[in-house]
Amino acid sequence: MQKKGKKRGFVNSVLSKIKKRGLSTIVVTLIIILISLVAVGIIWVVVRNVIQTGTEQVALGQFTLDAKIKDVGTDNSSNNVTLTVRRNAGAGEFSKINFVFSDGKDSEVITEAVSLNQLEERRFILHLIKLNVSKLISISIVPILNQNGKDIIGNVLDKYTIGSGQSSIIIPTGCTPSLSCAALNYECGLNWANGSCGTSFNCEPPNCTSRYGAGYSCNSSGRCVFGTCAPLISNYCSTQGYVCGYWGNNTCSGNLSCGSCTNGNCNTSGRCACNSGWGNCNNDNTCECNLSISYCGGGSCVLNPTGNTIYALSCSYADVSSAIGNATNGDTVRVPAGSCTWSSTLTITKGITLRGSGVDKTNITGTGTTDIFNVDLSSNLFFRLVNFSLIYTTNNLGGSAIYINGRGNSWATIVRIDHNKFVKGTRPVYASGWVEGVVDHNTFINNNIAFHMTGDNDDAWSRPIEAGTEHALFAENNLFIIDNNADREPNHLIYHQEGGRTVVRYNIFNGSAYTNGNSIFHDSHGNQNYYQGTSGDFRGQPIIEIYNNVFQGHHSYGFGSFRGGSVLYYNNVLTTDSGSAPYLSLTEEEDWQTAFFSPLKTVWNAEDQVMNSFFWNNTANGVGITSIWLSHGNSDCTGSSSPYACCTGSGTGTCDDVFIQKDRDYFMHAPNATGGRTYYTGRPGGAEAWVSGANAYYPYTPYTYPHPLTLI
């Protein structure tokens, strides 16, 4: 009869048998270590497969993705976790996020199909199956990128430790959601049904104001809207490519009216189709029926270049110059890959497309203060520069990568500069005179002034002063970067003077990595002499538009400075990582700038001064901007002529307060049907008067997006 005893584990059983065979203690120890390593390996394979099922792991050094977890809450009764993910500035795009939950022993991964724009926040409610939320120790987020049809796992962007003291929002009890708010297109409000929760699903406390700024509230569709029913930035008709008809916008109950056609008929894509042929320019400034053969310029349709292609032998100055010499209007000159240094400026007088082989492939380095390209067209022709890296070794000095002359032989109103990289230099893109077109999808790195627009002074003011038209040089969908590789503190990256007309929209300005100095982004000069009516006049800007941009800096003394003319500034996100919140400033130099004006002006109004300007739906560090700072105000005065010549005593003077007043010269809302405006009683920009009635530029509609020239 066998004697009963305690059951032995696998390891003990093996050891017993080993001892019976008389093996040494050293051999026994080695076998134990081997068994342990095999067990660890098995566990790691299981954990790795949980995270990496259906994905591939790659090094992502070329991306600078950054995101943070905040506002974490848990609900023990439903085993749900609610949290917010904020994406910070950084290159790279992802299509999914892995949420990795850990209780210190086991882990659970939940994958959400979602993409986040830079500086966007998204709230998630996640139901755990394997782990108990009451025992959670940490939550990590890992981006998943899709490349060539394959999911690729990135590195951990953030790890949140439970109980770290961050604020939390607890989700409703007894509610197990089958979908997230984002998947249902809800972003606010209570009691949204999602298939599992009936009417008890809480997407987020209705706090739209803190997310988007003053004037936003949660509507009946669970979306944050401005006013009664207005689409978010990403859903305006223009951003969807609609110019007519009624289109759903996922924001308001019902549909959004996008307008009607003045030429042609509204088609099923929400565009105005041409009546016949290619010769009719639509109200959205495109020739849609035959975009493959035509584009709009100067108010009429123009055939696309259909000429020959000339190939330069190399990227050297001599070979590129020779190829352009052999080209005629409408031709394309292709420049091969290579790295070349030029010591002379190449002047281009022909309407051509100059195409490199790609960014970081065709690299041309300028020397000293010499410009690389000087575009001086013999007549108003289409010109395009694309697929180059144009480089200077410093931003202390250096010329312009491309200088566009709209003052010389002809104006230049059909220009496109796109998909290039501009490194350092003084003014990589410098337009002078009557220049219109678009600068798009470029990367600007550590330039002194990245985009400089000098207008044609009195002529710029003599043309109609209208908003929402094609009559400007557009900067859209560009990336502007400043970091500590800059040789000096850059000037304003966007710079205007002498009647420059621009529209700056849908760009990202990122100075977060520049800790050595201030990030300053936008400047618009005023006039620098009393009007003489001569070629020597130095005028301010008639009108500029700045909207739907992201401005982020490490620290700054001011993101935008405006010294005259009309400014339409809206839907911009301003953020600083350190120091005070970013701000915008206005000033009138005729009241204090003795270098240009004598005697100084002491009563309203001044020439070319800030007028008919509108600021709305902008945020600074997440808070709505409700006021604009006067940079030379009476409150700064400490005594007579101190610190400004306009000061008459402590807190008194004839400074900016006299010339720039809210609800007369500028408004903190979009152009309205009431509220009054300034108008010109004499020459444009001269003596003004204020009248009641509608604001200037009402009703305002931004110019079609994307710019029609980008469709070529």
DSSP string for 35-63: HHHHHHHHHHHHHHHHHHTTEEE---TT-
Residues 6+ apart with CB under 8 A from 492: 449, 520, 521, 522, 523, 561
Place of tokens 């007894």: 174
The residues, any chain, with a CB within 8 Å of residue 337's CB and separated by 6 or more, are 315, 356, 357, 358, 361, 362
- Least Cα distance to 416 among 353, 469, 477 occurs for 353
Q: Is the pLDDT of residue 176 over 70?
A: no
Strand partners, 649: 639, 652
Question: What percent of the chain stands above pLDDT 90?
Answer: 49
Report the 3 state secondary structure along 204-272: ECCCHHHHHCCCEEECCCCCEEECCCCCCHHHCCHHHCCCCCEECCCCCCCCEECCCCCCCEECCCCCE
Estimate to the nearest angstrom the gap between the alpha carbon of 284 and the chain centroid: 23
Please compute the mean of the pLDDT values over residues 160-189 and round it to a whole number: 51
* Pairing assessment for the beta strands 402-406 and 666-667 based on DSSP bridges: unpaired
Provide the pLDDT for residue 284: 45
State the pLDDT at residue 445. Answer: 96
Cα gap 141→129, rounded to integer Å: 18
Cβ–Cβ < 8 Å for 405, 375: yes
Highest mean pLDDT among 4-18, 47-61, 533-547: 533-547
What element of type H or E holds 301?
A: strand 300-303
> Does residue 191 carry a pLDDT above 70?
no
CB-based burial of residue 184 (10 Å sphere; 0-12 exposed, 13-18 middle, 19+ buried)? middle
Taking each helix axis from N to C end, the angle separating 25-52 and 10-20, rounded to the nearest 10 degrees, works out to: 150
CA distances from 637 to 557, 583, 631, 652 (A): 20, 21, 12, 6
Q: Which two tokens stand for residue 128?
A: 């755990």
- Fold topology of 59-197: Immunoglobulin-like (2.60.40)
Cα–Cα nearest to 607, from 684, 497, 697: 684
Per-residue pLDDT tens digits for 513-525: 999 999 999 999 9
Q: How far apart are CA 651 and CA 673, in angstroms?
A: 36
Q: Evaluate whether 419 touches 442 at the Cβ level (below 8 Å).
A: yes
Of 687, 665, 685, nearest to 461 by C-alpha is 685
Residue with tokens 């995101």: 67
Token readout for 171 is: 């989700």
Mean pLDDT of 526-539: 91
Q: Say yes or no to pLDDT of 353 above 90.
A: yes
Lowest pLDDT segment from 171-175, 302-306, 395-399, 668-672: 171-175
* Alpha-carbon gap, residue 688 to 607, rounded angstroms: 8
Lowest mean pLDDT among 188-192, 272-276, 401-405: 272-276
Q: What is the pLDDT of residues 437-488, one digit of tens each?
A: 999 999 999 999 999 999 999 999 988 899 999 999 999 999 999 999 999 9
Query: What's the pLDDT tens digit per position in 208-262?
Result: 666 555 556 666 556 665 554 444 433 446 555 566 665 554 444 445 566 666 5
**Cβ-contact 87, 115 below 8 angstroms:** no
Most confident of 60-64, 186-190, 433-437: 433-437
**If you average pLDDT over every residue of the chain, what do you get?**
79
Split at pLDDT 50, 70, 90, the class of 83 is confident
pLDDT on residue 194? 45
Among 32-36, 96-100, 371-375, 577-581, which is the least confidently predicted range? 32-36
| Selected residue with higher pLDDT from 139 and 711 | 139
Considering only the C-alpha atoms of the chain, give the largest distance between any 2 of them, rounded to a whole number of Å. Answer: 124
Q: In what side-by-side order are the strands of the sheet with 479-483? A: 338-342, 362-366, 389-391, 421-423, 443-445, 479-483, 508-513, 550-553, 573-576, 619-620, 623-624
Strands (DSSP E) contained in 577-612 are 584-586
From residue 452, give the alpha-carbon distance in Å to each of 364, 431, 494: 20, 6, 6
| pLDDT for res 121 | 75
Residue 297 confidence class, pLDDT cut points 50, 70, 90: very low
pLDDT tops 80 at residue 333: yes
CB 278 within 8 A of CB 303: yes
* Bridge partners of residue 438, in order along the sequence: 416, 474
Cα(282)–Cα(288) distance, rounded to whole angstroms?
A: 8
Answer yes or no: pTM beyond 0.85: no
Determine the pLDDT at residue 548: 95
